[in-house]
Amino acid sequence: MSRIRSAIVIGGGIAGPVAAVALGKAGIEATVYEAYQTTADGVGGTLGIAPNGLDALAAAGLGGIVEPVGTPITTMVMRNGKGRRLASLGSPAGLPSQLLVWRPELYRALHDAAAHHGARVEYGKRLVAIEQRDADPDADTAGGVTAVFADGSRASADILIGADGIRSAVRSLIDPAAPSPRYVGLLGFGARLSAGSVDPGRIDPTGSEMHFVFGKRAFFGYVLAADGSGGWFANLPRATSMTASEARAVGADEWLRVLREAFADDRLRTVDLINRTDPAEFITVGGMEDIPTVPTWHRGRVVLIGDAAHATSPSSGQGASLAIESAVQLARCLRDLPYPEAFATYEGMRRDRVERIIKMAQRTNSDKAAGPVARVLRDLMMPIAMRLMNPESFSWPMRHHIDWSAPVTPAGAPGAAPLVSVASSSA
């Protein structure tokens, strides 16, 4: 067992740059390898960074980087399609507001911060294979791992971290039987509205609230500033999934028509926001997905973080924040423990928490796709449940604090899986 000095991080989304900075803080040199030539992944919608995500960023020394590009959301207001207020959830006491941020702006902020902290990012490097080797004291060779990229280049380090998202190549390389993403029964859409798009006389600006509508046939969320700028997203129940490219092939105009129709019976002005959408600003996500459990988080010198290990559907509003938390916790484990103990301890710290949040999001997905009977029950029960429930049952995911300076002690987690050499990627 040995201390780790260098790391390859696959994926320059959210977890990757944070991991590189946190590893640097832990004295481990890390380089991020991103498949694309740019920082954004083409899905340009909004993301909420929850208080626990902000806390984890601060633990990595990245406090304050989201604030300049984020809009604070103090309250989430939920209505049904008839305009009836079902619930309103304020920020949990004592915690900062979550920040709503456009994904490309968040990626840019993370990459700028990573560069500022001296973390290297190489673009256009798509991982296709991993080779691992044990130390051989007889031949006096150290153990290590090599990443092989689609362009034929290679990179070696002590460990490799898979931060390559929900369709992780690293996940299938360390466990060819790893589960694939599961469609949660909803297609995702969104749009950005530029200033002047919407007449604030017709729809009230939302201020620091985010508004959600459980419509008759689909779910809608939006924010609107006083100048008529803002953004919205919609979740449309559909029996079968579509990939993002299949959904994009349908075209923005057609989807906007479908969505107008889906919300036509709701007594809210949401349709106005759809009508005012510039098709060029329309975002087609495709089928929304999660992975309830990933059995193998680490094998030999390779470990997973972020969506690669724990993909929650967007309904949790926690995917990015959990990705940040895992990046920071893994760095703490590697700072204080030899590998592979560090990997087992990291998994022991994280697995229950992330899988519980993935399950919570699944319940929200069912509410969004409710049929006529379930809709009546939901509209009856939600206001009562909100009144009776302990607010902690909603806020516990956000009450997560990482104390960077606290030493990590090894968990009684099971030993690491043996080393394997994997020849090719299924991604």
Ligand X SMILES: Cc1cc2nc3c(=O)[nH]c(=O)nc-3n(C[C@H](O)[C@H](O)[C@H](O)COP(=O)(O)OP(=O)(O)OC[C@H]3O[C@@H](n4cnc5c(N)ncnc54)[C@H](O)[C@@H]3O)c2cc1C
**Nearest CB to ligand X, comparing residues 29 and 41:** 41
**Nearest CB to ligand X, comparing residues 70 and 228:** 70
Interaction between residue 14 and ligand X (CB under 6 A):
yes
- Looking at 99-184, list the stretches that DSSP marks H as alpha helix, in order from N- to C-terminal side: 103-116, 169-174
- The number of residues that bind ligand X (CB under 6 A) is 36
- Report the C-alpha gap between 346 and 356 in whole angstroms: 17
61, two tokens: 């020394």
Interaction between residue 127 and ligand X (CB under 6 A):
yes
Q: Which of 15, 22, 54, 268 binds ligand X (CB under 6 A)?
A: 15
The residue type found at 15 is A
Interaction between residue 173 and ligand X (CB under 6 A):
no
**Nearest CB to ligand X, comparing residues 268 and 309:** 309
**Between the CA atoms of 393, 397, 399 and 404, what dihedral angle is there, to the nearest 10 degrees?**
160
Spatial contact of 353 and 402, defined as CB atoms under 8 Å apart: no
Interaction between residue 178 and ligand X (CB under 6 A):
no
What order of strands is seen across the sheet that includes strand 71-73?
46-49, 98-102, 71-73
Q: Which of 20, 31, 34, 294 binds ligand X (CB under 6 A)?
A: 34
**Nearest CB to ligand X, comparing residues 55 and 379:** 55
DSSP per-residue string spanning 183-250: EEEEEEEEEEE-TTSS-TTTS---TTEEEEEE-SS-EEEEEE-TTS-EEEEEEEE-SS---HHHHHHH
**Nearest CB to ligand X, comparing residues 329 and 341:** 329
Q: Which of 132, 284, 318, 365 binds ligand X (CB under 6 A)?
A: 318
Instruction: Name the segment binding ligand X (CB under 6 A); options: 125-133, 151-159, 257-265, 361-369.
Output: 125-133
- Restricting to residues 235-294, name those near ligand X by CB under 6 A: 285
The residue type found at 350 is R
Interaction between residue 54 and ligand X (CB under 6 A):
no
Q: How many residues does the chain have?
A: 427
**Nearest CB to ligand X, comparing residues 289 and 341:** 289
Interaction between residue 320 and ligand X (CB under 6 A):
yes
Query: Could you tell me the smallest distance in angstroms from the CB atom of residue 138 to ligand X?
Result: 34
Spatial contact of 420 and 145, defined as CB atoms under 8 Å apart: no
Residue 93 sits at the vertex; the CA angle it makes with 87 and 19, to the nearest 5 degrees, is 100
Q: Which of 7, 26, 33, 86 binds ligand X (CB under 6 A)?
A: 33
H/E stretch holding 253 reads helix 252-262
Q: Is the dihedral of CA 45, 65, 17, 333 positive or negative?
A: negative
Query: Could you tell me the smallest distance in angstroms from the CB atom of residue 318 to ligand X?
Result: 5
Interaction between residue 379 and ligand X (CB under 6 A):
no
**Nearest CB to ligand X, comparing residues 189 and 339:** 189
Q: What is the DSSP letter of 97?
A: P
**Nearest CB to ligand X, comparing residues 57 and 341:** 57
**Nearest CB to ligand X, comparing residues 3 and 248:** 248
Q: Which of 7, 8, 9, 12 binds ligand X (CB under 6 A)?
A: 12
CA-nearest of 397, 378, 381 to 389 is 381
Interaction between residue 328 and ligand X (CB under 6 A):
no
Cβ-based burial of 371 (10 A; exposed 0-12, middle 13-18, buried ≥19): exposed
Q: What is the β-pairing status of strands 29-33 and 298-299?
A: unpaired
**Nearest CB to ligand X, comparing residues 3 and 108:** 108
42, two tokens: 């083409």
Interaction between residue 101 and ligand X (CB under 6 A):
no
Interaction between residue 7 and ligand X (CB under 6 A):
no
Q: Which of 29, 36, 108, 146 binds ligand X (CB under 6 A)?
A: 36
Query: Could you tell me the smallest distance in angstroms from the CB atom of residue 150 to ligand X?
Result: 8
Q: By the criterion CB under 6 A, which residues form the site for ligand X?
A: 10-16, 33-36, 41, 43, 45, 47-48, 125-127, 163-165, 169, 188, 285, 306-308, 314, 317-321, 323, 427
